[in-house]
Amino acid sequence: MILPIIAYGDPVLRKTGIDIDINYPDLQKLIADMFETMNNAKGIGLAAHQVGKSIRLFIVDGSSYEDDEEYPELHGFKKVFINARILEENGEAWGYSEGCLSIPKIRENVNRLPTIRIKYCDEHFVAHEDTFTGIPARIIQHEYDHIDGKLFVDRIKPLRRTLLKSRLNDISKGNVDINYKMKFPLKK
Ligand code: NI
């Protein structure tokens, strides 16, 4: 089932996500719905916050880049992260133009460190500890921010953020042209 994606300005996007356990109600259905919702919106990552649930769950899927020779590291990069904790971030910060399904039509340069070590549970609650680097790490860092109640626009230069203010406000009101279902906090 395709769920509406929560737009910028909704307080749920600012909540710190709580850990869940295997008894979380309808977890497998939620994960399946999140994949469907993300693929429908042509996203490569989605956090539970973006469908209205402030829990430590996010998914990634680089399948739509499967044929893109620029990103071979995204081949087969499809994962579920539950109760994730980034243990370490290393390397020299690099910039990349990020976007977000909750903040449509805006892309901004964000600096992040290239390599992360992260522990998490998969959809079967099997524990993992893995290292990711480059674009996969970037996608995880972006989604991980969501489960901590942060957004990529928090990480851009204050002047850029000021310049974006009215466009962000328009998104909250639903004044944005998109081809997927969203829920806007200030839509009249
Ligand atoms: Ni996002």
Is 185 contained in some domain?
no
The question of whether 88 is a catalytic residue gets the answer no
Give me the number of domains the chain comprises: 1
- Kindly state the tokens that stand for 41: 């919106």
Question: Which residues pair with residue 95 across a beta bridge?
Answer: 111
Give CA–CA dist 57/102, Å, rounded. Answer: 16
Domain that holds residue 18: 5-179
Residue-wise pLDDT for 87-130, tens only, equals 999 999 999 999 999 999 999 999 999 999 999 999 999 999 99
Q: What is the CATH number of the domain that holds 57?
A: 3.90.45.10
- Residue 167: pLDDT band with limits 50, 70, 90: very high
Does any domain span residue 186? no
Q: Is residue 188 part of a domain?
A: no
For the segment 144-159, the average pLDDT, to the nearest whole number, is 97
31 domain residue, yes or no: yes
Residue 82 CA to ligand 1 centre (angstroms) = 16
Q: Report H helices in the chain.
A: 27-40, 135-147, 158-173
Tokens describing residue 80: 């579920």
Task: Please give the model's pTM, rounded to 2 decimal places.
Answer: 0.96
**What pLDDT sits at residue 111?**
97
Å from CA of 62 to ligand 1 middle: 14
The first and second tokens of residue 63, run together, are 């399948």
